Amino acid sequence: MREYYQGRLIATVGDITEMSVDAIVNAANASLLGGGGVDGAIHHRGGPAIMRECREIRRHSFPKGLPIGRACITRGGKLDARYVIHTVGPVWKDGKQHEDALLEACYRNSLDLAAGHAANSVAIPAISTGAYGFPRERAARVAFGAIGEFLYRNTVPRTVFCVFYSIEDYEIFVAEADAILQAVSEQE
């Protein structure tokens, strides 16, 4: 476990479905109708109530699917978390299709929704780095920057957990985060 930003960003290894936080973020797909990876794990453990709400959201708000970079919220079903925030990351192509900006929007819009629901603790997975193929170093830089920026401007959520499924992914994130902070301190 490693802490940044006065303990408001905590990087850790684990299964996000087991986190006891106010909200967890799901790396969903546009259909909101389930998928593999972290999405499958969340619906499996959270039970069918989450999917029912997702279908309602599709029907009422996003008949064509949730756009990339946007986020929506459901309750957490059987999870410890009160809410699940569903966001759709960009599929990595070549880095020239606005992938960074879209991934940044996922983090910003997810945290915005969390704040709007007074969620003080939020757990976020490494969006887009699984099936969607985003290079993990680059995704770590985007995530660390976007979360840091949000925390700087907002008091809620108080704490954001970046939850990595493997130690390797965690170590990549920590290395990138440390390098960013090092570069900042050298500029000062």
Residue written as tokens 């499924």? 165
Instruction: Kindly tell me the burial class for residue 188, based on how many C-beta atoms sit within 10 Å of its own C-beta (0-12, 13-18, 19 or more).
Output: exposed
Q: Residue from 3, 15, 56, 137 that binds ligand ADP (CB under 6 A)?
A: 15
Gyration radius of the chain's alpha carbons: 15
CB-wise, 4 or 170, nearer to ligand ADP?
170
Per CB under 6 A, the segment of 14-22, 55-63, 154-162, 180-188 that binds ligand ADP is: 14-22
34 near ligand ADP, rule: CB under 6 A: no
Q: How far is CA 181 from CA 144, 171, 174, in A?
A: 10, 15, 11
- Phi–psi pair at 114, nearest 5 degrees: -60, -45
Size of the site for ligand ADP (CB under 6 A): 20
- In sequence order, what are the residues at sequence separation of 6 or more whose Cβ sits closer than 8 angstroms to the Cβ of residue 148? 4, 5, 9
CB-wise, 83 or 165, nearer to ligand ADP?
165
**SS3 state of residue 186:** helix
- Phi–psi pair at 111, nearest 5 degrees: -70, -35
CB-wise, 47 or 118, nearer to ligand ADP?
47
Minimum CB–partner distance for residue 90 and ligand ADP (Å):
9
Q: Which amino acid is at 140?
A: A
Q: What is the distance between the alpha carbons of residues 123 and 76, in angstroms, rounded to a whole number?
A: 13
Task: Based on the residue annotation, tell me whether 39 is a catalytic residue of this protein.
Answer: yes
Instruction: Return the DSSP state at 66.
Output: P
Per CB under 6 A, the segment of 32-40, 73-81, 153-161, 172-180 that binds ligand ADP is: 32-40
Per CB under 6 A, the segment of 1-9, 33-41, 74-82, 153-161 that binds ligand ADP is: 33-41
Residues 85-104 that bind ligand ADP (CB under 6 A): 89
Residues 143-172 that bind ligand ADP (CB under 6 A): 163, 165, 169
Minimum CB–partner distance for residue 155 and ligand ADP (Å):
26
Q: Residue from 4, 11, 17, 151 that binds ligand ADP (CB under 6 A)?
A: 17
According to DSSP, the residues that pair with 71 across neighbouring strands are: 87
Residues 109-128 that bind ligand ADP (CB under 6 A): 125-128
- Hey, which residues are catalytic here? 39
